[in-house]
Amino acid sequence: MVTILEVGHNDKKKFISVRWKLVSTYLLLIFVTLIIINIFISKTILNIYIQQKQNDTFTKANIISNRTRYQLASDRMNEEWVKKAINEYSKEINGRIIIVDKNNIVKGDSNNLFIGDTFKHDEIQKALNGENSRRVYNFRDTGRVMYVSVPVILNDEIVGATLISVSIDNIYLEVKHISRKVALISGISMLVTAIIAFFFSDAIFKPLGQLKNAINKVAQGHLEEKVNIDSNDEFKEVAEAFNIMILKLDQVDTQRKDFVANVSHELRTPLTSIKILSESLISGEDFNVDVYKEFLTDIDSEVDRLNNIITDLLTLVDLDKEKLTLDLKITYMNFLLERIYLRLKPLAEKKSIDLELVLNEKIQLKVDNEKIQQAIINIIDNAIKYTQTGGKVKLKLYNEGKYAIIEIKDNGIGIPEENIQNIFERFYRVDKARSRDTGGTGLGLSIAWQIVSLHQGTIEVESKVGVGSTFYIKLPITT
């Protein structure tokens, strides 16, 4: 009777076994993690694309405003070259351009529909009040449209406003296409993981079935039954503990803890760190509140580090040489460095670091403004991180032959000579413990190197331990 009941419920027990619980839980955690990562990647890419579109549109709007401000102020917007310029810019950005005077009268329209009409749009009003404005609308007929407006200023007086409207449906379609690819990759990864997990779980839990059979026989009175498991893992330890009963339980528990400690020492990545810390919390007993807080703090730190790595990896993907198209424009490097200086000065002041900017020469280069700015910020940020409180970081711009030199010098901890050749490698960190404390991912200098290389430039480093480091960003001067 017992045998019949056991057979009758065999399939049901299969679905509540430890094997199925562990495998299903593991797959569920992977599934949830992949969903979160996919959503994060999609949102991040969308924000980056929209921000780039916004910056480009603002730039175009300011250019148009500067070119037409004299004509707008003197009511000469009907000149043929002005109309032609507005139409050319409209075709270039694939959008509509409307220019109004300070009385909201339309003086220029790339579609020639509203000229002479009064045009009171929210973005126009903000521009006439001296504000740059941007807003995205979702129209039923035309889809998502970005409105960008800037004031037209002449002799410190607002004489009108420029409004540009451009469709951004293509951005959403591109992000949707990328999201589908990421989802497909995630689905394939999930399927492969599931297959591997089921195959491995079958092999892993086979000794457990042998142990169960032995326990059932002992329960029936066959005390001579022994468990012989031909493996070299925890199951063998459990079998040995079963054979000598309760006397060996403490030894097995010690071996288990030693095993976890050894594995945690070898694993390096943030995800595995989070997993180890979580397993330690789950498997530990009688932990007090302070221990829980300490573990959760470490997990939070690893999550932050993982976010930084994802962000930097997205940047590295964007810097793929085969796919990247640099948006090269003539840029006044003095103005660019001033903006970087003002942006990082508060960060330096938090550590009482004297951030100095020296601009002895006026230099303009043909660069991708946003990307070269990121490269410079990454290096200065490193200099601030690895300079002691009360130290000094100096940013200098000058010419040297056919190159413009951006020099970043600090009196920080310095870099050992044998490590200098490796600092631009991905994930390389001279002092891993210190990098973890400062939030470093080991990707910042690699990103800077790749950006500068794409501009046909180089980065040279001089450093001495205990004295400081000097980075020379050399960019070619093109005529």
**Could you read off the pLDDT of 9-66 as tens digits, one per residue?**
444 444 456 667 777 777 888 888 888 888 888 888 888 988 888 888 888 889 888 8
Burial of 430 (0-12, 13-18, 19+ CB in 10 A): buried
Burial of 463 (0-12, 13-18, 19+ CB in 10 A): buried
Buried b or exposed e, range 263-295, using 16+ CB within 10 angstroms:
eeeeeeebeebbbbbeebeeeeeeeeeeeeeeb
Return the amino acid letter for 288.
Answer: N
- pLDDT at residue 217, as a whole number: 59
The CA-based diameter of the chain, rounded to the nearest angstrom, is 109
- pLDDT at residue 86, as a whole number: 86
As a whole number of angstroms, the distance between CA 245 and CA 425 comes to 54
- pLDDT at residue 392, as a whole number: 94
As a whole number of angstroms, the distance between CA 256 and CA 258 comes to 5
Report phi then psi at 365, rounded to 5: -130, 160
As a whole number of angstroms, the distance between CA 356 and CA 404 comes to 19
Q: Is the dihedral of CA 80, 82, 86, 91 positive or negative?
A: positive
How do the domains of the chain map onto residue ranges? Answer: 2-41+174-316, 65-169, 328-476
Give the number of other CB atoms < 10 A from CB of residue 407: 17
pLDDT in tens, the chain (479 residues): 333 334 344 444 444 566 677 777 778 888 888 888 888 888 888 889 888 888 888 888 898 888 888 888 888 888 888 888 888 888 888 889 999 988 889 888 888 888 888 888 888 898 889 889 988 888 888 889 999 999 999 888 999 999 999 988 888 888 888 888 888 888 888 888 877 777 777 766 676 776 777 666 556 555 555 666 666 666 666 666 666 653 444 444 443 443 333 323 333 456 666 776 677 777 766 667 777 777 777 777 777 766 666 666 566 666 655 556 778 899 999 999 999 999 899 989 988 999 999 998 899 999 998 889 989 999 999 999 889 999 999 999 999 889 999 999 999 999 898 888 888 876 566 665 545 555 555 678 888 998 899 899 999 999 999 899 999 999 998 75
- pLDDT at residue 270, as a whole number: 62
Alpha carbon distances (Å) from 405 to 355, 365, 401, 458, 474: 18, 11, 10, 10, 5
- pLDDT at residue 356, as a whole number: 93
The strand ranges marked E within 39-142 are 95-101, 106-109, 133-139
As a whole number of angstroms, the distance between CA 477 and CA 479 comes to 7
Name the class of domain 328-476: alpha beta
Residue 463: strand pairing partners: 469
Residue 102: strand pairing partners: none
pLDDT in tens, 400-449: 889 999 999 999 999 898 888 888 876 566 665 545 555 555 678 888 99
- pLDDT at residue 393, as a whole number: 94
- pTM exceeds 0.75, yes or no: no
- pLDDT at residue 118, as a whole number: 87
As a whole number of angstroms, the distance between CA 192 and CA 448 comes to 36
Alpha carbon distances (Å) from 142 to 94, 146, 173: 14, 11, 14
Asked if residues 152 and 99 have their Cβ atoms less than 8 Å apart, the reply is yes
pLDDT in tens, 136-157: 888 888 889 999 999 999 888 9
CATH number of 65-169: 3.30.450.20
Nearest CA-CA partner of 474 in 441, 448, 436? 448
Residue linked to tokens 């960060």: 347
Asked if residues 66 and 58 have their Cβ atoms less than 8 Å apart, the reply is no
- pLDDT at residue 429, as a whole number: 65
